Amino acid sequence: MINLPAVSPHKKAFDLQYAIDALPEDLQISKEFLKPIHYFTEGMYLRSLFLAEGMVVVGEVHRHSHFTILAEGKSKIVSQDGDMEVEAPFVFISTPLAKRSVYAITDCTWITVHLNPENKTDIDEVENDHVIKSEKELLEVLV
pTM score of the predicted model:
0.79
Q: What is the reported pLDDT for 127?
A: 92
Residue at 31: amino acid letter = K
Count the alpha carbons within 13 Å of 96 in the hemisphere toward its beta carbon.
8
Q: What is the reported pLDDT for 82?
A: 78
Q: What is the reported pLDDT for 6?
A: 46
Mean pLDDT of the chain: 83
Per-residue pLDDT tens for 13-47? Answer: 566 656 656 656 665 565 666 789 999 999 999 99
CB 2 within 8 A of CB 136: yes
Residue 105 has pLDDT above 50, yes or no: yes
Q: Which comes out higher in pLDDT, residue 142 or 130?
A: 130
Band of residue 4 on the pLDDT scale cut at 50, 70, 90: very low
Measure the CA–CA gap between 77 and 62, rounded to whole angstroms: 16
DSSP per position, 39-58: EEETTEEEEEEEE-TT-EEE
Cα-based angle 139, 8, 62 (whole degrees, multiple of 5): 55
Band of residue 100 on the pLDDT scale cut at 50, 70, 90: confident
For each of the domains in the chain, give its residue range(s) and CATH number, in order of start.
11-142 (2.60.120.10)
Q: What is the reported pLDDT for 26?
A: 61
Q: What's the rounded mean pLDDT across residues 120-127?
A: 96
CB 93 within 8 A of CB 100: no
